Chains A and B, each alone.
Chain A
C-alpha cells in the first residue's frame, strides 16, 4: 500500500484524510544512531537537532513505498525547512499543511480550507476520490484506536505497562496500517488485564516537552527507577486524548478536534499547556515532572521558565533537560536523572 510520510513537530496532521484515500499515514521518526553529515550542508548548526535528523534520514533515501510527504506547520523549523526538503528530497507529492497557530473560530474555518486543498491535491496526484463518507469511516476507526490507547495508557499508572513499551505501541500506531494496529491494541489490552504489577518500586513521572520518538530514552529512565506514568507529548496522550465528532461534516470535525485537543507548545496560548499538566500531576499522583527539550527547540525553551515557576509554586519537583538526540548522551544525562530520582518522594 502507498504510504505518505508525515513530518509533524506536533501531532496535527489529519491522518483520516489519507486513510480515506487508502494511503497509510506514516509518521516519520528520527534515528538517534545516525551520523549527521548531509543535513549539515542545509541547516545551520544551531537549529533543532530532531528536525535535522529527520532531514538526514530523508536524504539517505526513503522507502520505496513512500510516495509523498506532508509537513505540518508547528514551529519555525517545520515551515522553513520544508523548502529545503522540497529542494532536495525526491518525492512527487509534497504538501505543506498550515495547521493554524490559533484555535478560534476563524482558525477552524481556515484549517478546513487547507484540508480541502490537501484533499484536492491528493485526489489529483493519486487519482483517488476522497469522499466525506470515507473520511467518516476513517474517523470511526481512529476513534476506536484512540479509546483503546487511552485505556492501555492507564496501565502505565497501574505499574503494569512500562512507559517505554507504551511509547513503542503509539509509534507503531502512527506508522502502520490502522486496521492492523486495531487488532494489535485489542490483544494488548486483553493481555494487560491479566498482568501483574511489576515488582520493582519505581518513581512516578509525568513526561512533557518536545517530540520524543526514541523509546530507548524512556527505557533509560526506567533503568534509573523512573516510570513514565503519564505524558502530554505527541507520541503519547496528545495523539489520542480526545475523540473526533462522528456526526456532521467530517472535515470540520477534524479541524475542531485538532484545534481543541490539549494544547502544545507550538500553539497559542501555549502557556495553557501547564493547566493540563497540573491536572495530570494530581490525577496520576506523580512524584515529579520531566520536561525534555530537543536541543534548540524554541517552543519548549520559551515555555520552560513559566512551567518551572508554576510547578515550584505547587511544590511539585520539576526537571528540565535539553537532549542531544543521540544515545551517547544517556550516560551524561543519567547523573541528572539519578539525582532527580533521589530527590523525589516515592509512593
Chain B
C-alpha cells in the first residue's frame, strides 16, 4: 500500500511541561524519604486520594515500571525476575518492579523504587495487583492492605451493587484505621475534602480535554494523552497538575477554534483499547504517515474516574471516603462485557471513529479477556472495523514489530476502501 507524505502530529506545548510535573512528583517522593515521612506503594485503581489526605506520599510501581520501559530498561528487569522464578507469562509490570527491587535499583530515571512504609492494593482491576503486593510486602516486611472489590458482571443487579458498595465502604474505613495504626494520627476530614475537590477538578479538566477530541480534526493526539495521564493516577488531589491540564485544555481549545488539528491532515480517526507499548511509543507515530490519528483511548480516559453520571462533586467532597466505593465499582477499565460493548459503540459514534485497534496485551488477562467478543459485536452488530494486535505494554520481546506493522497497514487499507464507498 502506498504511503502518504510524512505528516507529524504536533504535541501540545503544555504537554512538554508534563516532565516538570512528574519531576515534582518524584521529587516529593525523594523528599519524603529524606525527611522520614511515610510513603505508600499503591496499585492503580485504588483511592490514592486517601493517601494524600493522610499526608502519605504515594509511589506507584506501575508508573515507575513505565519509566523503566520508556528508558529501555524493562526487559532487563523482567529477565531478572524470570531468573528468580517468575514465569514468562506473568504481568510485565510486576516483573519490572520485581527486577527493580531485586537489583536494588533506586535511580528514578531507570524506574527505580524504594521500600515503602506500607502498601495498598486492590483486586478492582486485576488479581495481579494483590498477588504482586503480597509478594513484595512479604519480601520487604511491610504492612499491606487490600481492598477487595466484588466484580460487577453483565447480569449484576443494582440491588447487588448496593451490598457490594457496603462491603467496599466498610473496607475503606478499615483502611483508615490501618493507616492510623501505622502513622499514629487520624485523617483530617477537611484535608480529605480538599483533596477530593482537587481530584474532581483534575478529572473534569481531563474529561474536557477529551471532549475536544470529538472535533474534526482532533486537536490532541496520544502524544499528549499517553503520558498526560500520569498525574491522574499519581497526583489526584494536588493542585499543580490541574494547572497543567488547564493549559493543555486552553491550547487544545485554541486549536479547535482555529480549525487546527494535531495532525496536519487527518484522514482516519481511531480508537485504541489497552495499554500502549511504553518501550516503543514511537510506534504509534507510525500511523501518522497515513493521516491516521488515535482520538480515544479507554485506558487514558478511565483514570478520570468521576464519570458515573449519578455522582456529583458535592457527593465526592462531602463524603470523601465512602464516595470512593462508588467510584471503584464504576471504573471504565473494568466494565463488564455488555457495558463495554455499549460504551464502545457510543464512543465510536460520539468521536466519529473509523476503526478500533484492540491491544491483546499478553500481560493483562483481565483486559484482554472478552476482547474477541467485543470485536465480534462491534463488527457484526455495528459495522465498526476492528483490529486486534498482540503485544505487551512493558515487555519488548512480545511485540513483533513486522507482524503488527503489516496488520496495521492492511487495516488502514481497509479503512481507505470503506471511505471510498
Q: With A80-B370, A84-B369, A109-B170 given, can you name 7 additional A-B contacts, CB distance below 8 Å?
A: A76-B369, A80-B369, A81-B369, A83-B337, A83-B373, A271-B135, A298-B365
Determine the chain B residues whose CB is within 8 A of the CB of A217 once the complex forms.
none
The 8 closest A-B pairs by CB, nearest first: A305-B85, A80-B369, A83-B337, A302-B131, A110-B167, A79-B151, A98-B150, A101-B148
- Contact: B131 with A270, CB < 8 Å? yes
Please choose the segment from B55-63, B154-162, B234-242 that sits at the chain A interface, where 4 or more of its residues have CB less than 8 A away. B154-162
The 0/1 profile, CB within 8 Å of A marked 1, for residues 351-363 of chain B is 0000000001010
Query: What does DSSP make chain B's interface, helix, strand, loop or mixed?
Result: helix
Q: What's the least CB distance linking B330 to chain A, in Å?
A: 16
- Contact: A76 with B366, CB < 8 Å? yes
Determine the chain A residues whose CB is within 8 A of the CB of B26 once the complex forms.
none
Tally of contacts, chain A with chain B, CB under 8 A? 142
A31 at the interface (CB under 8 A from B): no
- Contact: B167 with A266, CB < 8 Å? no
Please choose the segment from B5-13, B71-79, B121-129, B279-287 that sits at the chain A interface, where 4 or more of its residues have CB less than 8 A away. B121-129
B381 at the interface (CB under 8 A from A): no
- Contact: A44 with B373, CB < 8 Å? no
**Residue from A47, A113, A302, A305 within 8 A of B365 (CB atoms):** A47
Can you list 28 A-B contacts with CB-CB less than 8 angstroms, sorted by A residue number?
Answer: A41-B376, A42-B372, A43-B369, A44-B371, A76-B126, A76-B366, A80-B366, A83-B153, A84-B370, A84-B373, A101-B123, A101-B148, A102-B148, A106-B171, A107-B148, A110-B150, A110-B163, A113-B166, A113-B167, A114-B150, A266-B127, A301-B86, A301-B90, A302-B128, A302-B131, A302-B135, A305-B84, A322-B87
Size bin of chain B's contact surface: 35 or more
Determine the chain B residues whose CB is within 8 A of the CB of A266 once the complex forms.
127
User: Which of B131, B135, B146 has the most A CB atoms < 10 Å from its CB?
Assistant: B131
- Which residues of B (161-192) have their CB < 8 Å from a CB of A? 163-164, 166-167, 170-171, 174
Determine the chain A residues whose CB is within 8 A of the CB of B127 once the complex forms.
75-76, 101, 266, 298-299
**Residue from A73, A84, A270, A305 within 8 A of B134 (CB atoms):** A270
- Which residues of A (285-310) have their CB < 8 Å from a CB of B? 296, 298-299, 301-306, 308
Distance in angstroms between the alpha carbons of A122 and B360 in the assembled complex: 37
- Contact: B85 with A304, CB < 8 Å? yes
**Residue from B128, B148, B171 within 8 A of A298 (CB atoms):** B128
Specify the chain A residue showing the minimal Cβ separation from B366.
Answer: A76
A334 at the interface (CB under 8 A from B): no
Specify the chain B residue showing the minimal Cβ separation from A296.
Answer: B89
